Structure 1
Amino acid sequence: MSDVNERIEAELKANPVVLYMKGTPVFPQCGFSARVVQILSHVGVPFKGVNVLEDMEIREGIKAYTNWPTIPQLYVQGEFVGGCDIVMEMFQSGELQAMLKEKGLPTTEQA
């Protein structure tokens, strides 16, 4: 396993909800990342944002890790959930909120 994969796995083990994104949760630097931050903030789930713009090894490594070509990428309890479109669809259908609740993660929104 490569060093970047070890770093990614350590991050995923240390944080129940991780968003690999462009920018930070406070200052997203792309519209898709901003949309996912908005959704996660709306449901009230605590999450760790990882700014891929600060680390090219992580930026390319996360794409290879999941074989998913785009950023942002959302992970819940180490499991890849999807990118912006998937997260948005899951949120609109209530599936995201139900999944977070099922995994015992705190949210402010009722599923």
Structure 2
Amino acid sequence: MRLVFAGTPEVAVPSLEALIASRHEVAAVVTRPDAPSGRGRKLRPSPVAERAADAGIEVLRPERPRDPEFLARLREIAPDCCPVVAYGALLPKVALDIPARGWVNLHFSLLPAWGGGGGG
């Protein structure tokens, strides 16, 4: 299966690593744009972006998930499914409709099962 993984923080890296090690193809990663970090407030890539780059996987960093360039690239990649772990932004319906088998939110909390907690 052709996948596009969406995630940003360190907690999402083990899930990305499991997908990389699986029989599935991780065609790209979607993550939040580089952000200021540390004392010098230098721009740094997210932990997911760093791990994807180390694995030679394309990294997409849309400022907004409804950006036409991002949506066009996602269509070009043509993922079958998009697993999500703590991406950090709401995806518009137009993006949600792109993968043939949808987006799968892997969440650490029981709150979504009980109607609270928002998305991850």
Taking structure 2 as the reference length, the TM-score comes to 0.26
Higher relative contact order (CA 8 A, sep 6+): 1
More helix by percentage: 1
Taking structure 1 as the reference length, the TM-score comes to 0.27
Q: Quick check: which has more Rg, 1 or 2?
A: 2
